[in-house]
Structures are given as C-alpha cells and as structure tokens.
C-alpha cells in the first residue's frame, strides 16, 4: 500500500479531509447498518436538536504505524464504552460498542494510506461523534441521531521535544458539581473556551480547574487530567468528590503502567490545591500528548514551580513506557494495542 505524498514531519494539529468517513443514522428506534462515505459534510434542519439543546458527544483516539509496520489503535473498546456512557447521560441512544470498534476498523482501513509511517511522530487522529439530527422545539431529547467517524492526519504534539509548560488556576468552573463533567460532551468544552483563550493570552498553556463546589481540590485542565509525583516517587492521581472529572483512558492506562511495568506505588484520591507544593512533579495526561509535563502552576496568591528546564524522571519514564507499548517497542502485557488488518 502506497502512502499519501505528505510531508509528515510538517503536519500540525489541524483538520485535513481524508478519503472516507463513516456514518450511521438512528431513526424509528434503531441504528441503520452504517457505511463509509466520501461526503464529509452534514446537512441538517435548522430545528435539529444539536442546535437547540446541545445533544452531542464525541471521542478521540489515534491510529499509528508500529515498528513492525502494522497499523494499530489503542484501546478502542474503552472509547466505545465511554461514548456509550456519555450518550446515556444526555439521553441519546448509545451506538453499540461492538459496532463502534468495527466502524473504527473500517474507516482506518479505508484510509490506510493516510496513516503516517513509523518514526514520523505523526498519527491518524480518529474523531467519533454523535449529534441529535431530529427536529426539536420543546425541551426534550430528539428522536433521530447521527453517528460519524472522521479521521485526519496530525503531527507530533510536541515539535522539538517534550518540554514543561505553565498553567494557571482558573477563576472559572469547568463543570457543575454532579453535572456533566464526567462525560465527553461538547457542552463541557464550550465552558472551557473562554478560560482557555484568557490563559493563552496570559502566556499559559492551559488552566487548572478546581472543584466547582468548594474550589478546594484539583480537578482537571481544559482537556486533560492531572497527575502528581510525591517526594518518595509515588504517583498521586486526583479523584473528584463531585464526580466532575472526565475518566481519561490515558490516565487509567498510565496508572496500570506505573503499577505493573514500573513498580511505582499509585494513590488515587482527592488532592487539595493547598498541598500541590508538596509534590515534586506534575503533568497533564490525554490522548494528544500522552503526558504534558507541568513546570509551573500559578494562582492569584501562590506560585508552585516544579521546574521549567527539564521533564521530571517519573513523568518521562511513564510517557516513554506507554508510547513504547503503543508503538510495539515494548511488550503489550494487557492486549491494549488493537491491530487493524489492511490488505
């Protein structure tokens, strides 16, 4: 199979249409068979539920080429499960989890020429999404929906190597206590846009959101979960006592890597903001970068510096191990890497 003629090393994190997307529609109480499509546009009624009551959920994962030349993706079954849980929370019909994985395979296989080669640092980003397409005027769930998967090649998250970033404590809340902060829905990300724009304008990479009930505990950033390392080299993972942190698949995987590959003790608990200066490393984890090391956290009356000159040893080892598993350079003990057969 011949790859597309692309300067893979020059790719940024931006949308570029590929050959195929996947689409399936829900009508009369059931999902249709679904199919690949070359049409990357969506035509909707002005009264579609997505426009009025924001019934939308999405996911994000990647396909990449391993050292052996296989095309794989990472734990798509977990994305399927999380998307189904997100859909139920805002009264959307979950797309069947087995069909989700099959659809990912189909769309990646159809766009195999767009999967960047091993060693390029680039990947094929996979974006499943579901929207309410049925007409709705009164406040209620729609009766028709569309599930789609688009794919687009993206460059390495870090150009020129992984470097620590600065974050600020936001004056805004990302989600309501016991609201929708624990699902992957567009409405949560809309809430974070203004804080994100203001953070970037002030020279910060992202925000650190505190719990929306007491503003005492660390929650997450605009698009990633936080991790900390204590003075004994143990990993400390913030939990939300208001159930408003997105359950990150990357975070869950890093916890397993820490415990089962690296022998690191892991504690998952609520983390008070006033104790973060007791930690020696901090990072943000998510699909895009795996781990973004945090070198400094600033608030109105406090500055916590972990170091802007280099990545901490625990964060560095965690990131190297997980990316090594994904690329096939390190043995996959858990069967996380999902191979996609391409003719």
The pLDDT > 70 percentage for the chain reads 99
Q: How far apart are the C-alpha atoms of 202 and 165, rounded to whole Å?
A: 13
- The CATH number linked to 137 is 3.30.470.10
- Output the DSSP codes for 174-206: SS-TTSSTTS-BHHHHHHHHHHHHHHHHTT-SE
Same domain, 98 and 138: yes
Three-state DSSP at 317 gives helix
243 with 323, same domain: the answer is: yes
pLDDT of residue 343 exceeding 80: no
Residue 141 sits in the same domain as residue 98: yes
Residues 6+ apart with CB under 8 A from 316: 162, 293
Q: In the predicted model, what is the mean pLDDT of residues 297-320?
A: 96
- Both tokens of residue 83? 């998307």
Question: Same domain, yes or no, for 295 and 222?
Answer: yes
What's the start-to-end Cα distance of the chain, in Å?
A: 8
For residue 94, the 8-state DSSP code is: P
The total number of structural domains that make up the chain: 2
In DSSP terms, 150 is beta-bridged to 127
**Which domain CATH number covers 216?**
3.20.10.10
Q: Check pLDDT > 90 for residue 160.
A: no
Range of the domain at 289: 165-327
14-47 residue pLDDT tens: 999 999 999 999 999 999 999 999 999 999 999 9
Q: Note whether 212 and 250 are same-domain residues.
A: yes
Catalytic entry in 30, 184, 265, 302: 184
Residue 98 lies in a domain: yes
Q: Is residue 196 part of a domain?
A: yes
Q: How confident is the model at residue 288 (pLDDT cuts 50, 70, 90)?
A: confident
Instruction: Identify the domain boundary among 110, 132, 154.
Output: 154
pTM of the model: 0.96
Question: Collapsing DSSP states into helix, strand and coil, what is residue 252?
Answer: helix
- Confirm whether 9 is domain-assigned: no
Domain identity same for 191 and 214: yes
Residue 99's Cβ-count burial label (10 Å; 0-12, 13-18, 19+) is middle
Please enumerate, as own/partner, the contacts of 318-324 that have beta carbons within 8 Å and a separation of 24 or more: 318/227, 318/235, 318/254, 318/257, 318/258, 318/262, 318/283, 318/291, 319/162, 319/290, 319/291, 321/257, 321/261, 321/262, 322/250, 322/253, 322/254, 322/257, 322/290, 322/291, 323/290
Q: Count the alpha carbons within 13 Å of 268 in the hemisphere toward its beta carbon.
A: 13
**For this structure, is 317 an active site residue?**
no
Q: For residue 1, is it within any domain?
A: no
What tokens appear for 133 in the block? 């397409």
Whether residue 252 is contained in a domain is answered as yes
Note whether 285 and 220 are same-domain residues. Answer: yes
Query: What integer is the mean pLDDT of 136-159?
Result: 94
In 3D, which of 326, 329, 273 has the Cα closest to residue 304?
273
Residues 142, 242, single domain; the answer is: no
């Amino acid at each position: 199979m011949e790859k597309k003629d692309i300067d893979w090393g020059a790719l940024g994190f931006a949308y570029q249409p590929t050959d195929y997307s996947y689409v399936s529609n829900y009508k009369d109480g059931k999902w249709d068979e679904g199919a690949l499509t070359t049409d990357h546009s969506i035509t909707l009624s002005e009264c579609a539920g997505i426009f009025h009551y924001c019934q939308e959920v999405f996911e994000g994962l990647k396909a990449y080429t391993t050292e052996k030349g296989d095309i794989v993706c990472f734990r798509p079954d977990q994305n399927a499960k999380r998307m189904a849980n997100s859909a139920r929370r805002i009264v959307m019909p979950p797309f069947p989890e087995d069909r989700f994985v099959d659809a990912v395979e189909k769309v990646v296989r159809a766009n195999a020429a767009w999967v960047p080669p091993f060693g390029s640092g680039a990947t094929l980003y996979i974006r499943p999404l579901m929207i309410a397409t049925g007409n709705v005027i009164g406040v209620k769930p729609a009766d028709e929906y569309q599930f789609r998967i688009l794919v687009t090649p993206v460059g390495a998250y870090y150009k020129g190597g992984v470097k620590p970033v600065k974050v600020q404590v936001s004056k805004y809340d990302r989600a309501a206590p016991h609201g929708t902060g624990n699902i992957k829905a567009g409405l949560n990300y809309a809430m974070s846009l203004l804080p994100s724009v203001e953070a970037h304008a002030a020279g910060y990479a992202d925000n650190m959101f505190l719990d929306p009930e007491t503003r005492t505990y660390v929650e997450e950033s605009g698009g990633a979960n936080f991790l900390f390392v204590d003075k004994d080299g143990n990993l400390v993972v913030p939990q939300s006592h208001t159930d408003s942190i997105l359950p990150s698949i990357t975070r869950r995987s890093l916890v397993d890597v820490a415990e089962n590959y690296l022998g690191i003790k892991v504690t998952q608990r609520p983390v008070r903001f006033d104790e973060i200066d007791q930690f020696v490393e901090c990072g943000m984890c998510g699909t895009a970068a795996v781990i973004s090391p945090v070198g400094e956290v600033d608030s109105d009356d406090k500055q916590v510096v972990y170091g802007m000159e280099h990545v901490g040893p625990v964060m560095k080892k965690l990131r190297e191990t997980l990316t090594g598993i994904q690329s096939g350079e390190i043995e996959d003990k858990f069967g996380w890497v999902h191979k996609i057969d391409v003719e």
